[in-house]
Structure 1
């Protein structure tokens, strides 16, 4: 009970002073309404309905029409009621104006602080577009503690990004002034992920003209746009559709590798790094009748006469053996993940791969 009371009190304190002022004003207004109704009943001898009517037209200074106030007591009570009602009305109106003013002031202060925070940023990333892909990128960078600024022209998306605690600049990233406000001259990288290729090309061109050293990563919907983005100054072009198609194909061709690594982006990065070193990850399946079934990994390596490393084995029961020993026996239904140089694959191993793909 005590904790609930503290919670209610804390929420009350968090409310705007303008709202609190209006709440107090409405409470005072109800008290004046009650006092006026009871007073007219007792002093003037009015009925309840007449007393309530008299109180309301007095507070709002409407006038009495043919209703008369006969005694001095009634006149003094009415004057007090008019003064009290007018004061309360002004108090409530002041609270309403205060709410509006506080909102504008808070917004202005918030924008000023946001601008100063962006001005203090250095070596940050500018994300142009806070759509589905932009939100994922922002979340990843935020989890890693990497500074970034969101640029978007849509008010709702900017509000969504601000609610998430991200620094934002509202406006079109095609305009130089918007990118300058986002700190492009101090930024380390710019990512443009808008769904329209022509806009991404223009943003890339504008960003490159403003900062020759910045790293630009651009999204492309059509493969034909890749060359245009690179000509505009993009250091890297990402084709989400091509990546998705490649991910699906890898799930068919190398299901064990995809299951082991899970994240397709990690798999892509690892594959690219390995290709630079001249090696690749591959997957071999041992089917019924294979010569390697029943033999150890050492015998497998000797018989195939190939230079490769067995990184893991997925057994037929879906269990995975990582870093298997050389004396590990290979069974039917095993899937081997190997690291090898494609140029040095022997005919035995390549025919085994074809057999796996045709099975």
Structure 2
């Protein structure tokens, strides 16, 4: 219905132009007796004022037809210009641009929705761009929308707390959603809406206080980050363990990534494995990736030894390049449930 409304304003000019072409062709055919190809060619060069010579010398009746075609062409052009001006005043071209943009959104897959383009949202978007991850920014403020578009980002100008906005942003097909709106209440609304629409979606939220962090967790946020707490921990780590922080910075600028491999909780899927220990499976040798840690329930095994066995429901934290991590996914096969990239 929307597309029909957008095409309707052009039906009049297109119909008038077609009638003019058909009428002029018939006129030349009756007055000059040319074949239809020559008649149509004469009409086209007359309407477009290209200035080519006549197909053949015109009779008096043919000149009358030519005058009528020129007059009709001027009228059609004038009406078309008036229609364009009226459409521009009514916001037609803005609606057309929005329609094209919504088509782009509908084609997006495995993208990250960033709700809010403040200072934190800008930093998140910049990091995601460096990783080559598709991003959609949801921002209601026009100035911030313009700033995001200047950085080459797709921006949906709408209220992120509304269910309609999240659905329009492609929540059902996104990889994750990040809520970085200016206040805790707005972020809470976003998480509640997103959790209700797609419970399995990975949701990351910004919190300004510990109380807000608890509420966001209860609302369904997968991860809650406090900028002040995170900054404080980073500064403390820099003071106490500068080499470790430098290593993480170097890792962020390399082609290596840290990913979480969630193993299936179904024991039946592990029956095809002849061995379960890391040494017998030889995941590192065959893939080139390194298993940094294994979380088994509440137990975290760091730098696991070769005798450690994998089992259903475990979470493997792995370091490697994209190609190495892809090979590891193939090796784990059906035992693998999900893969999530960690922030390095």
Give the structure-1-normalised TM-score.
Answer: 0.46
Higher normalized contact order (CA 8 Å, seq sep 6+, divided by chain length): 2
Q: Compare CA radii of gyration and give the structure with the larger one.
A: 1
Give the structure-2-normalised TM-score.
Answer: 0.48
